[in-house]
Amino acid sequence: MQTSVYCMARTSEQAEVILLELKQAGFTNNDISALLPDRRGTKDFAHEHNTKAPEGATAGGIAGMGVGAALGWLAGVGALAIPGAGPFIAAGPIMAALSGAAVGTATGGVVGSLVGLGMPEFEAKRYDAKIREGNILISVHTESGKQKDVAKDVFKRNNADDISTAAEARVH
């Protein structure tokens, strides 16, 4: 059964180390998601979206946030505004969930998207609160028990908070 392993990183430096270790452990950029509040300010946010620069510019803009190379390596990095929650940076499969139908659900926002990915609602609400405080959500899609254990070990070794797993919902 496919599961996702989740954790919270308190700082961008901690997130960077976790993401790089996951990459070294053999996870692909399509296996890993990250979600963090966009603290760059509306001036930078507006400027980045008014340019038609190639994707490298987006990765460069994200590097300015301090979660540079590791986040830039993930698939589908981008900035988005979540109704009722504010601006976020998202990367990996969670980007599709946040920009898709889940945002329109009754729960909406981050909580609705996480529930849509298979996370129990009470955990999604806890993660949502932590993200709003400035923490960084990292999730890893795993295909086997061995991969799940590897991801958990990386999270534990780096003192990540709120480590949990959830069976994945099928994303259409």
CA distances from 95 to 21, 33, 35, 137 (A): 21, 8, 8, 12
| Residue 121 located in a structural domain | yes
- The residues, ordered by sequence, that sit 6+ positions from 77 with a Cβ below 8 Å of its Cβ are 58, 59, 62, 71, 89, 90, 91, 95
Residues spanned by the domain of 94:
3-38+70-167
**The model's pTM:** 0.76
pLDDT at 90 exceeding the cut of 60: yes
**Per-residue tokens: 114:** 């996480």
Give residue 138's pLDDT band: very low, low, confident or very high (50, 70, 90).
very high
Q: What does the DSSP assignment read for 63-110?
A: HTTT-HHHHHHSTT-EEEEETTTEEEEEETHHHHHHHSGGGGSSS-HH
> What pLDDT score was predicted for residue 117?
76
| Residue 23 located in a structural domain | yes
| Residue 139 located in a structural domain | yes
Give residue 59's pLDDT band: very low, low, confident or very high (50, 70, 90).
very low
> What pLDDT score was predicted for residue 87?
77
> What pLDDT score was predicted for residue 93?
78
Of 67, 39, 17, which Cα lies nearest the Cα of 134? Answer: 39
pLDDT at 53 exceeding the cut of 80: no
Q: Return phi, psi of residue 30, to 5°.
A: -90, -10
pLDDT at 58 exceeding the cut of 90: no
Q: Could you give the number of structural domains in the chain?
A: 1
User: Helix or strand or coil: residue 51?
Assistant: coil
| Residue 46 located in a structural domain | no
Alpha-carbon distance 87 to 149, whole Å? 32
| Residue 49 located in a structural domain | no
pLDDT at 32 exceeding the cut of 50: yes
> What pLDDT score was predicted for residue 84?
65
> What pLDDT score was predicted for residue 1?
66
| Residue 64 located in a structural domain | no
Distance of CA 154 to the CA centre of its chain: 16
Alpha-carbon distance 37 to 134, whole Å? 6
- Looking at per-residue confidence, does 13 or 98 come out higher? 13
| Residue 50 located in a structural domain | no
- Looking at per-residue confidence, does 168 or 100 come out higher? 168
Alpha-carbon distance 97 to 71, whole Å? 18
Asked whether the beta carbons of 49 and 79 are under 8 A apart, the reply is: yes
| Residue 20 located in a structural domain | yes
